Amino acid sequence: MRRKLAAGNWKMNGTGASLAELADLGERHADPAVDILICPPATLLSRAAEAVQGGAIAIGAQDCHAEAAGAHTGDLSAAMLKDAGASAVILGHSERRADHSESDAQVRAKAEAAFAEDLIAVICLGETLEQREAGETLKIVGDQLAASVPDSATAANTVIAYEPVWAIGTGKVPTLEQIGEVHNFLRTELVHRFGAEIADGIRLLYGGSVKPGNAGEIFAVANVDGALVGGASLKAADFSPIIETLENA
């Protein structure tokens, strides 16, 4: 059985005062039945890792460079993230793909760098509204899956997050049938590429305006193994009900 995962992406939000939310979340979920991952901004990584030390919450980063070191001003390597206390890293988020023109090849290289440092790569896929309306969703996410995920992916080092771009932070959510169609498709593609043993262990998350009010029905969809949550993960009071819903799914 795949262990469920509730992942929170704080994006460019949070200062030292936000660490109180981690303490609150840790108290609410001292012995959770699911994995919990919080990905704060890089400025908080080491402090966040210290804040949750000995507890059930894992800390991840929001991006890494594909190179181990070098003249890359402003970038952080996977080794640096691990040294700061991260155990995972989000890669290929649509905001990175759009704002920084990241290609599938770059995402793949970053994932390989993460693997080299024993970081879990949370690789994001998703279509735009125009692509959805043109009936291209499965082609887009299939192409992204094929090109962004390294051949060395395993259930231990890889999580796939399906996040339709048009649903991120908009309040719009695909129908349950649409979510199920994509997740079932991704599982099938993983089986074709990696074989059933590996593919059946890779967790597939849904992300895109997940909130306490809709989490239950989303988590009931086949092949949805958890969520990558944005804004609702910033406050323990908002994220905790999502975690509880996942625990009971």
Catalytic residues: 93, 163
Residue with token string 């991952």: 37
CA distances from 34 to 16, 30, 189, 247 (A): 26, 11, 25, 6
Strands 120-125 and 158-162: parallel
CA distances from 242 to 34, 155, 190, 227, 249 (A): 11, 23, 27, 9, 10
The whole-angstrom separation of Cα 69 and Cα 93 is 22
The whole-angstrom separation of Cα 87 and Cα 232 is 22
Which of 106, 126, 131, 99 shows the shortest CA–CA distance to 183? 126
Say which DSSP state 138 is in.
H
